[in-house]
Amino acid sequence: MSKLNPKWTRANGLILIFFGAALVLGVGLILIEKKPARPEAQGQAATETDSEQGSSTTMSVNTLPLDDLSVTAITEMSGLTFPTDMTEFLTSRGDTNRQLDLTFVIPSASAATFLADSGLPAPVANKRLVIHSSPLWKVNPPEGSTISSSQGKFGQVKRAVELVGERPGFIRARVVITPT
């Protein structure tokens, strides 16, 4: 029988347990990351035509075609008809092209026309649809602001529009566009 140093054996045992746990964790993370791909979602592109609006949008599944963020390109993709009197037009997209946030200011009198021309229903007062922050806005509008919301689909995109009282006579539109 050989004599082993008990401190040395205990230390090696703890090291062995630590590396074993790290190995199991690493293998687990690799297996979780490699989910089986669904055949219908692999690189598939879809085209849908909205017969009411007469538009056609082509995009990969769960992403938006955001190579061009001009007002014209966003109008073609989303069906939103931007008022000619809008100001402060800004856009923000994430790295994954799964969401486009945009904002602009319009006179209060232009809000109903913007929604109607964009094929959206009349806004619902005191209803929040945009409940996330963005580089373009804070989660909550300034206290005391009026707020109303409308939403709808166009082709392969969902559109959520929140109209927030900006200053007397003006409204800030907060718009979120996502794939259907």
Same domain, 69 and 154: yes
Q: Regarding predicted confidence, which is higher, 104 or 18?
A: 104
Same domain, 23 and 67: no
Give the pLDDT confidence of 146-155 residue by residue, as tens digits. 899 999 999 9
Structural domain count of the chain: 2
Give the pLDDT confidence of 20-56 residue by residue, as tens digits. 777 777 766 676 665 444 444 433 343 333 334 444 4
The overall average pLDDT reported for the chain is 79
Give the pLDDT confidence of 128-149 residue by residue, as tens digits. 888 777 778 777 777 888 899 9
Containing structural domain, residue 150: 42-179
Is residue 87 within 8 A of residue 94, CB to CB? The reply is no
Longest dimension (CA), the chain: 95
pTM here?
A: 0.63
Q: Read off the tokens for 120.
A: 């959206």
Lowest-confidence range among 33-42, 68-77, 110-119? 33-42
Q: Which residues contact 40 (CB under 8 A, 6 or more apart)?
A: 61
Same domain, 85 and 2: no
